[in-house]
Structures are given as structure tokens and as C-alpha cells.
Amino acid sequence: MASPTLLIPTFKLKPFISIKAKATSAAQTTSLPSQQQPLRRHFLSHASATTTTTLSLAGLPPVTPAFAASDEEYVKEAADVINKVRSTVNMDKNNPNVASAVAELREMSNSWVAKYRREKAFLGRVSFRDIYSALNAVSGHYISFRPTTPILAKRKARILEVMCEEDRHISDAGLDSSRKPDFFS
């Protein structure tokens, strides 16, 4: 059987104790985090040096940050994505390869977007934004519906129009930083 103290709550208020801060001058205060900062930097520099040395002794190349792709590579990969979107969107829903084509398009578009989204040089391009928006429309349709469900005629026409326009701009100039955005205009 339970004890009566567990069944009946008792509230005892503790008195509020006010704490008054002492006035200190700027010369008296010492910052503990600033004293620990050199130790932390020292440790991190030794840890990174040890890791780099260990990798080089093991015969592995040191880890280097990813560099931006070249303009030629961007143009080639963008053209590949555009052609894949065109071929996938234009497939008949009764085609037995439509599901695999949609899966390939999704994989290709995800890798293309992941590669160029990090680079500010490519992120600011009109072609990147327009292709990215069209890829979102296509991917959103195939995610929401089955891969065999055809894209609505109006949306399909707009996606293909954007793909043709971007293909023309990319193949003509390669660099499109002077163009104004026109996907949602």
C-alpha cells in the first residue's frame, strides 16, 4: 500500500535568495576561456599535423578540399542532364524502361545538383538556376506520382522549353552570367 505522503502533494516554497553582484574593475577580471584558447589551438595544430603525417606515411594522399569544376566540365554535364531530362520526359508511359529511366534521371540530377550547388561560381548562373528549377519540377512529379504517370502537358511543355533554351545558351556561349533569370518570368 502506498504511503500517504505520495498521495497528497505538499508544496513548500523556498525563500528567494537575492544575490548581489560585486563591482569589479576591468583589471581584476580574468577570462578563463581566453587562457584555455592557446591550449586548444596547440592541441588542434598537433592533432592535424599528426593526422597528415600518418596519412603520408601510410602511402595515402593527404585529404584536399574539393575544387570547383571547370567551365567545360559544367557545360558538358549540364548538356548531359538536359538530354536525359528530354529523353525521360518524352518517354511513353507504356514503355517498359520508363521506371529505370526515371531512376537514372533522379540519380544523375541529384549528383549534378550536389556537385554544383556548393560552388558559388556556378550557383549564381542563370542556367544553373533554371535547370535546377526544372529538375525540381520533374523530380517532384515523379516522387509525388508513379514514374509511369505522365507529366501534365502544360508542365511538360514548360520543362522542355526551359531545357531547349538552356541547351542553346550553354552550347552557344558556355558562360551565361550576363543573362537575366527567365524561368519564372
**Helical spans, DSSP H, in the chain:** 4-7, 32-57, 71-89, 98-117, 120-123, 126-144, 153-172
> What would the grid cell of residue 13 be?
516554497
pLDDT surpassing 70 at residue 13: no
Proportion of the chain above pLDDT 70, given as a percent = 56
The domain made up of 71-172 is a member of CATH 1.20.58.810: yes
pLDDT surpassing 80 at residue 171: no
Is the entire prediction scored with pTM above 0.85?
no
> What would the grid cell of residue 138 be?
520533374
| pLDDT at site 9 | 57
pLDDT surpassing 80 at residue 169: yes
Write the pLDDT tens digit of every residue in 60-70: 555 444 455 68
